[in-house]
Amino acid sequence: MKIALLGSLDFTDEIKKADDQLEKAGHEAVIPYSSRLILSGAMTLEEICAGGSAQKSKTDVIRYYYKELKQSDAVLALNRTKKGIENYIGANTFLEIAFVHVLDKKIFLLHPIPNMEYLKDELEAMNQTVIHDDLSLIQ
């Protein structure tokens, strides 16, 4: 199964670990573009964040990853604790989950839906599977 990985850039190391585990299990994983830049050493997290919307616009990263999502069978959102919010899902990850929902693809969350008022109901309305940190449940 081809699985696109989603999550905050702060979770880049965890994204790489998930990529390695999924590949060992026989899946093909796709790492987000900005995370690949960080992992390759081409840019730092700080440099990417400093670029803000101008950097995203220049690289057209949202449209680029949408194309990756269309070619994937599923997504795995690595929703870990960030900013004191357990199971955090940021705006970009939520946007990508919504794309996948509309594309009628499988949605896996590493942890339960976060208690974030502005997106909880929307995420609950999408057909997602919580795997509780067990990547072997992805099928």
Could you read off the pLDDT of 73-129 as tens digits, one per residue? 999 999 999 989 999 999 999 999 999 999 999 999 999 999 988 899 999 999 899
What token pair was written down for 38? 């960080």
Q: In angstroms, rounded to a whole number, what is the distance separating the alpha carbons of residues 95 and 108?
A: 15
Please give the pLDDT value at position 50. 85
3-state helix, strand, coil in the chain (%, to 5): 55, 15, 30
The structure's pTM equals: 0.93
pLDDT digits (tens, 9 = 90+) for 25-80: 999 999 999 999 999 999 998 988 887 777 666 667 788 899 999 999 999 999 99
Distances in Å between the Cα of 58 and the Cα atoms of 19, 45, 54, 72 are 26, 17, 6, 24
The alpha carbon of residue 20 and the mean position of all alpha carbons in its chain are separated, in whole angstroms, by 15
Q: In angstroms, rounded to a whole number, what is the distance separating the alpha carbons of residues 65 and 137?
A: 24
Structural domains in the chain? Answer: 2-137 (3.40.50.450)
Q: Which amino acid is at 139?
A: Q
